[in-house]
Amino acid sequence: MKETQQGKGNRVFWLSLFFCTVYLSYRYPLQINSSGTSPTYSDTPVALQAGKFLLAVPLFVIAASRCLRNACPQRQWLVTLGVLFLSSYSLVKILGDNNSKYLEASFWMLFAFLLAWGTDAVRISAIDRYLRYLLIYALGSTLIEVVLFVVFGRLPALAFGETFLIRFGGFLDDPNGFGAILFLLMGWSYGRFKGRTRFFIVGSIVISLLLTQSWTAIGFFTAIFLLWVLTGVSKRPVSVLLAIGAFSWLILFLAQKVPPSTVRSFVDMLETKQGSIEGHSMSWGPLISNWDSWVLLGGATYDPYESWWAGAPINFGVPWILVFLGLIAKLIMSLGSGLSRAGGEARPIYLGFFLFGSYFVIGSLNLPFPTIFPINFLFFLFSFLVALGKIRHEDGTSVQPLEAEAH
């Protein structure tokens, strides 16, 4: 009977997770995104932009009402106060400037917290099943986009014809956001599968990642790949060094066979990315000279800087970003301690969460992930589940973060 009640209680959780995961899937089939960055697309209508909030509000209300039935997470009272402060202040900022980014930064974080707080228990097997479906959806949507491009010349978003700048963003039709989803799946798949199955699945994820042409994602992947190689050298030095030597020889051999025209095309592709690189830079001179206009409460209007960590203090103020930093540090430490203590079927889940969370934080140096839906919602939801100890094994036990057990 208790199991049935928990199952009913968690329907809101799973409905919300499914809804937020697939909502933006309308982009690719309808060719709706931004005409400024996608020449073959039209701008997203206001109804669709607001639709995700309007559809989420009933779920938000139900989640909030369920929180009243569950005990307040007293062990995480700092997290609770931090979320309430960050969300409420962001909403207040809308009164002076109706930019939707304030709502993106506040609503999804608070919604994720209420869902995690109000849910009874989320089993490892259910999360594993969700990630399995997400893997099929992510790789399948990428394959469809690539096939339609090769056969019919159908361009995805952030793609320009007659160039190498064809960026595939999967079901999100957003290469940067889709890259974050792929890291979630990469960590989970690496721990979940073995042998040839793991090689095929992880290899497919890496190929999908390269197809995004997201330099932020590719740079992060290069870093974790090098870390993985160094770890492998310490465990199996001979086999790893032989593999590196063979791979290097293959690269040199292929480089000699590449025709000059291909090299020229690659250089052209890099040149087309120059505008994107310049868009991620900031002019600090005027900001420093006018520091008193934003340092405490943030600027009067929202400036859409590409780097979240650089732009957030200017848009929200230094006190706000300090609280945000504290919250993010707490969540990442919870993910790390959960991973270190997880075993068996739980470890792949935590590995995926930790890799996803690490990319969310590091990638925000170059991208505004806390305002990018559904990446912001997914990061906070998974992190709050871990921090509040809401993930259960099949036997009913949970992997508690170290700081929770300390109390």
The pLDDT tens digits of the residues spanning 6-47 come to 555 589 999 999 999 999 999 999 999 987 778 889 999 999
pLDDT attached to residue 285: 58
Q: How far apart are CA 24 and CA 27, in angstroms?
A: 6
DSSP per-residue letters across 86-146: HHHHHHHHTTT---HHHHHHHHHHHHHHHHHHH---EEHHHHHHHHHHHHHHHHHHHHHHH
Mean pLDDT throughout 162-189?
93
Mean pLDDT throughout 322-342?
94
**Chain segment 59-91, per-residue pLDDT in tens:** 999 999 988 877 766 667 888 999 999 999 998
Q: What pTM, to 2 d.p., does this model score? A: 0.87
Residues 394, 124 contacting (CB under 8 angstroms): yes
Residues 28, 156 contacting (CB under 8 angstroms): yes
Contacts of 64 (CB under 8 A, 6+ apart): 114, 118
The rounded radius of gyration (Å) of the Cα atoms in the chain is: 22
**Chain segment 281-295, per-residue pLDDT in tens:** 555 556 666 776 788
pLDDT attached to residue 124: 94
User: What rounded mean pLDDT belongs to the chain?
Assistant: 85
Cα 373–Cα 293–Cα 363 angle in degrees, nearest 5:
30
Contacts of 253 (CB under 8 A, 6+ apart): none
Model confidence at 397, pLDDT cuts 50, 70, 90, reads low
pLDDT attached to residue 258: 52
pLDDT at 402 over 60: no
> Between these two residues, 282 and 213, which has the higher pLDDT value?
213
Which has the closest alpha carbon to 388: 22, 79, 43, 20?
79
Residue linked to tokens 């990469």: 186
> Between these two residues, 330 and 37, which has the higher pLDDT value?
330
Which pair of tokens denotes residue 155? 């361009």
Mean pLDDT throughout 167-183?
96
pLDDT at 126 over 90: yes
How far is residue 102 from each of residues 51, 90, 94, 96, 260, measured CA to CA in Å?
Answer: 16, 5, 6, 11, 48
Contacts of 325 (CB under 8 A, 6+ apart): none
Q: How far apart are CA 407 and CA 405, in angstroms?
A: 5
Looking at the DSSP bridge assignments, the partners of residue 193 are: none
pLDDT attached to residue 168: 95
Domain ranges (residues) in the chain = 2-216+297-405
Cα 62–Cα 67–Cα 70 angle in degrees, nearest 5:
135
